Amino acid sequence: MSMSTDSGLRPYDPLDPLIRRNPYPWYAHLRRHEPVKFLPGMNAYAVSRHEDVRQLMLDHAGFSSDPLIQLAFSEFNPAPGARYMIASDPPDHTRLRTLVNKAFSRRALTEMDDAIRATITGLIDRLEGQTCFDFIEGFSSPLPVSVVGDILGVETSMHADFRRWSNNVTAGGSAAVLSESQRAEMHKDAADFRQYFLERIADARAHPEDNLISALVEAEEHGQRLSADEVLALCVLLLIGGNETTTNMLANALLTLRDHPEVEREIRGNRALIPDFLEESLRHTSPIQLLFRRATARTQLSGVEIPEDAIVMPIFASANRDETVFAAAETLNIHRPDLRKHVAFGWGIHMCVGRALAAIEGEIALNALFDRYASITLAVEDPELCDAFYLRGPKSLPVEVQRY
């Protein structure tokens, strides 16, 4: 069934700038009429219903994660010789996840609580006296970079470089539409990203400290140590993952509050509702719109035959607005009983390792912003989106603030 004939919509293409602006009508059409849809331009099958997205995320034997990094980073991968945890299947995934989980355990995160509060207070203090600033540059980007940087043991003074490297590596999925000068800049950033972390890893081998890089360098599983490139891949993944998801979660939350001032009044008046607001905001406007899997054998989803080795795209943002799972799914409702069913952080063994950390950062950040500012007004109506087509969040977000 063609979108252009039955709905008035042009064919769904996640790279189309007009569709990226507001993809939700296309997602709704896909769910209702073409829940598993082959996209010739992507050479991939788009999967849009919650049930199907969950099924393929849980079936790691039938749908491998191995193409994810190549499709997301393309030629700009800083660790092309290593298996990334997010793009690994068991047993490799199990080995890598076991090592990283220790740094993101509930106990480890509880111990970090005071440090996260101090980081957030410091960032807001740095903005003191400014009534207008870029929320992303001044707050939501340096926050996760500082926190993940502390976990890894790297200089947070590098946060502007980390942010640029992160942006350019994740824009690799849109490589086909880049200019030669953009490609050259992104290749240089990927090389600098690689060089920086290989030097930090070498330092950790020579002089181990109490941080995650040193722990990964020292870690052994069944007598095997991680290679330098494996440690590098984990550092890249944690820095980019922590940066993109938390930065976009907070920026999207401000956009959501702008569109729902009654919700802002409610959560300012009852701070206990902030975690529920963040979960609903993640469902309503997912920072990660979609990712990639590979069918390991010929199979079927929603009656559509998928060939062996075909690329499959679970659209998390569509699954999160599936009307069969979430009542009035297009509407923001922080009191809905099914909040935890969203798949904004993935599902199954690839549930985002930093999900709990992002929740802590988000809750402390919004409380601190509400404590300091009586109002936070967006100074742009329609902000430009980040370059990576599979992510959703503004590139910059100018705001005007008013202190109490």
pLDDT digits (tens, 9 = 90+) for 297-341: 999 999 999 999 999 999 999 999 999 999 999 999 999 998 889
Q: Are 291 and 67 in contact (CB under 8 A)?
A: no
C-alpha 79/C-alpha 20 separation (Å) is 29
Residue 119, CA atoms < 13 Å, CB-side half-sphere:
26
pLDDT score, position 176: 65
* Token pair listed for 292: 């990639």
**Those residues with Cβ within 8 angstroms of residue 132's Cβ, 6 or more apart along the chain or in another chain:** 379, 398, 399, 400, 401
Look at 41-50, 94-103, 178-187 and tell me which has the smallest mean pLDDT. 94-103
What domains sit in the chain, N to C, each tagged with a CATH number?
A: 3-403 (1.10.630.10)
Lowest mean pLDDT of 88-97, 149-158, 201-210, name the range: 88-97
pLDDT for the residue numbered 3: 43
Q: Are 10 and 16 in contact (CB under 8 A)?
A: yes
Q: Which two tokens stand for residue 105?
A: 């355990």
| 240, 229, 173, 48: CA torsion to nearest 10 | -70
Structure confidence at residue 30 (pLDDT)? 97
Write the CA distances from 146 to 39, 118, 202, 214, integer angstroms. 39, 11, 21, 18
CB 178 within 8 A of CB 186: yes
E-strand spans in 62-131? Answer: 63-64
- Integer Cα distance of 52 and 82 in angstroms: 30
Handedness of CA 211, 213, 214, 219 (dihedral sign): positive
Q: How much is the pTM? A: 0.90
Q: Over pLDDT 90: what percentage of the chain?
A: 60
| Cα–Cα distance measured from residue 94 to residue 48, given in angstroms and rounded to the nearest whole number | 28
- Residues 6-25 have pLDDT tens digits of 568 899 999 999 999 999 99
Which tokens sit at 43? 């050479």
130: phi > 0 → left, psi -120 to 50 → alpha, else beta; which?
beta
CA–CA dist 310, 111 (Å, integer): 44
* Structure tokens that stand for 306 in this block: 């998928």
**Average pLDDT across the chain, whole number:** 89
pLDDT band at 104 (very low <50, low <70, confident <90, very high): confident
Q: DSSP strand E in 63-181: where?
A: 63-64, 132-134
As a whole number, mean pLDDT of residues 265-278 equals: 98
pLDDT at 105: 74
Answer yes or no: are the C-beta atoms of 399 and 378 closer than 8 Å. Answer: yes
Residue 321 burial class via C-beta count within 10 angstroms: exposed 0-12, middle 13-18, buried 19 and up: buried
pLDDT in the model for residue 1: 38
The token pair at 15 is 């790279």
3-state secondary structure of 10: coil
The pLDDT of residue 247 is 93
Residue (of 275, 309, 279) closest to 293 by Cα position? 309
Taking the CB of residue 1, how many other CB atoms lie within 10 A of it?
Answer: 10
Residue 95 CA, chain-centre distance (Å), reads 22
How far is Cα 208 from Cα 214, in angstroms, rounded to an integer? Answer: 5
Question: At residue 82, what are phi and psi to the nearest 5 degrees?
Answer: -115, 155
The H helix count followed by the E strand count for the chain is: 17, 12
* Structure tokens that stand for 203 in this block: 């330092």
Tracing tokens 């009307």 back to the chain, one arrives at 323
